[in-house]
Amino acid sequence: MLSPRLFFWAAVMCAIAAAEPASTSANPERASALSNRILAPCCWRESVSVHRSPVADSVRQQITAAVSSGKSNEEIIEALVEEHGRRILREPGGSQGTWLYTIPVVGVLIAGACLVQFLKHSVSRPPMATVSPLCSGNPAIDDFPDED
């Protein structure tokens, strides 16, 4: 028969062994998700996950190693930002990201208000009177003799 202590340790080891593949199977998805959030530092156009260059490969390896070592997403992103600057982020965070969305909206609203004001002003203005140089009452024309 198994002693209670041996049975306990066997159960703990089985639980650890069963939980380990779940954590390692989640690592590739997590590394891939992080790679999608980071731009390749060689061209700053594509994410590291799809860009094919030695620099992008190096960043992907850094991300995979950091995920495997158990670092959190925030720690990994913070380390990459320290190394390459905030430009490495595909989506800027914080107030910078908010300004990217609000400035165009405010600009369109201001342009619309200016257009409405211009149209209101131009419609309410009376039309200008046109004066023809050949109208009656002009002394230079009234002095001409009629051809009849």
* Tens-digit pLDDT profile for residues 14-40: 777 776 544 444 588 899 999 999 999
Residues paired with residue 39 on neighbouring β-strands, in sequence order = 47
Q: Does 19 share its domain with 75? A: yes
- The answer on pLDDT for 48 being more than 80 is yes
Q: Does 31 share its domain with 70? A: yes
Of 46, 70, 88, the domain-final residue: 88
Q: Residue 41 contacts by C-beta under 8 Å, 6 or more apart in sequence?
A: 55, 56, 59, 84, 88
Taken in order 99, 100, 101, 102, is the CA torsion positive or negative? positive
**pLDDT for res 22:** 46
Task: Over range 94-109, report the average pLDDT.
Answer: 79
Q: Does 76 share its domain with 110? A: no
DSSP, res 39: B
Radius of gyration from C-alpha coordinates of the chain: 37
- The answer on pLDDT for 130 being more than 90 is no
137 inside domain: no
55 inside domain: yes
Task: Over range 109-122, report the average pLDDT.
Answer: 92
Q: Does 115 share its domain with 46? A: no
Range of the domain at 113: 94-119
User: pLDDT over 70 for what percent of the chain?
Assistant: 72
Overall domain count for the chain: 2
**pLDDT for res 27:** 81
69 inside domain: yes
User: At 97, is the pLDDT very low, low, confident or very high (cuts 50, 70, 90)?
Assistant: low
**pLDDT for res 120:** 87
Q: Please state at what angle helix 73-84 crosses helix 4-36, rounded to 10 degrees.
A: 40
Alpha-carbon gap, residue 114 to 92, rounded angstroms: 31
- Tell me phi and psi for residue 75, to 5 degrees: -65, -40
Q: Does 106 share its domain with 48? A: no
68 inside domain: yes
Of 40, 68, 88, the domain-final residue: 88
